Amino acid sequence: MSTPILEPVAPSCVRQALREIDKQGLAALGEKGKANPNAVVTLKAKTVCEGQFRNLTYIRGLDPVIVDEPPHLLGEDTAPNPSEALLAALGACLAVGVHANATARGIKLTKLELHIEGDINVTAVWGTGDLDDDKPLGFTAIRVKFDIETLDPMSGAEKDALLQHAKKWSPVANTMMRPVALDCAVL
């Protein structure tokens, strides 16, 4: 007696849209930007070293963002390391851009996941290891794969256009893709 081959069954639940963004509020923010296109906001954070490589960064009145290092980099492994936190910031910024632009275009997202990986040489060990000047420091490549589902069908080309638009206007992605003035000084 052979075992019958079962056909895949479609999910019985109806996929719901992600928690929505206030479309009128989004439009108002857009108009505010158009009315004052040269406005610059200064964001502030305070990072306090708790000990070893564990750091607490305070932003506005929020709970601190904790950053640590994994054991192979002599940390306590209590939180993402700084480079992982940078990938998280990029992923969140791109996700915000995709969701905002989907909302502005009337697209209802049911799933938005970003899978991010980056290649980084860590042999300089913060200036205490291999100090070859020819070696690039920081990420040399970052790859982001988007897993997007919508209530209404979208072609791959339409999804890609949405992603490329979000990348073009992402503050974090742009910070990573162009030189930024960085001043470090003693207080």
| C-alpha angle 169-173-179 in degrees, rounded to nearest 5 | 110
Place 15 in a pLDDT band, splitting at 50, 70 and 90. Answer: low
Q: What mean pLDDT do residues 138-163 have? A: 94
Q: 96 near 90, Cβ under 8 Å? A: no
Rounded Cα gap, residues 168 and 154, in angstroms: 20
Coil, helix or strand for 38? Answer: coil
Residue keyed to tokens 């923010």: 29
* Full-model pTM: 0.85
Q: What is the pLDDT of residues 45-93, one digit of tens each?
A: 999 999 999 999 999 999 999 999 999 989 999 999 999 999 999 999 9
